[in-house]
Amino acid sequence: MFNFLKSDIEIIKERDPAARGMLEILFCYPGFQAIVIHRITHKLWKIKLPLIPRILSQLNRSITGIEIHPGAKIGRKVFIDHGMGVVIGETAEIGNNCLLYQGVTLGGTGKSHGKRHPTLQENVVVGAGAKVLGSITVGPNTRIGAGSVVVRSVSANSTVVGVPGRVVHQSGVKINPLAHSALPDAEANVIRNLMERIDQLENQISKLQNIMRSIAKDEAIDISKLGDAQNLKDKEIIEFLGDDKS
């Protein structure tokens, strides 16, 4: 237990420049307090002690604003920054070195028993207000942008943005977990691409009109000036809309 507490304090010092000392972390960081209480309630849950773990988890919610079911599994060096409104479900699993911001939900779907909440592997960052729903797995070193809604499993080294969450792969690029402004703007890229395509199609129509006029006047036609059509399976649009044929 002491080793867990030590690692939880270390990650706050590492990731939060506002943390000025151990006493400040102990008394002023609801995310740290919530995880400490949860580690106690989780041990009681594992020995199947009735009711008391749930009562303690509700007390935890009242004190910190963070709701963690005692059945959830939380690894080492997990940092819940600010934390108000965070909800972590019963079968959720959070790996080592994960970072969650305020308003995050690791929620379940359906009424079936068993695994129904998400699993976050190591070094996952979940932005403010993001929702990760269902029995899905978020691969290591993945960032989920603020306000995103993730309902499908995500591979490692990815960035997820939007509603529903769409994946932009960032393999091989080391990401600063605190760099929220570095998220890609997938919608802007797609809109820019579509605008370029509209411009190209308008040019094609203009050329075809000129050809029709030439035909009407029995003039020679230079077919080489027509150009090639743009490939409809554009990479950015497919990534944004998803290529799921199921």
Q: Three-state DSSP class for 198?
A: helix
With CA atoms as reference, report the closest residue to 159 among 186, 187, 132: 186
Residue 66 in this model has a pLDDT that exceeds 90? yes
**More confident of the two residues 190 and 100:** 100
Cα separation, 8 vs 202, whole angstroms? 58
Contact 107, 131 (CB under 8 A): yes
Q: How confident is the model at residue 137 (pLDDT cuts 50, 70, 90)?
A: very high
What order of strands is seen across the sheet that includes strand 87-88? 67-68, 87-88, 105-107, 131-133, 149-150
Q: How many CB atoms lie within 10 A of CB 186?
A: 21
Q: What's the pTM value of the predicted model, to 2 decimals?
A: 0.72
Q: What is the pLDDT of residue 206?
A: 84
Structure tokens at 26: 């102990």
Lowest mean pLDDT among 45-54, 59-68, 76-85, 188-197: 188-197
Computed over every residue of the chain, the mean pLDDT equals 83
What is the distance of C-alpha 124 from the center of its chain? 8
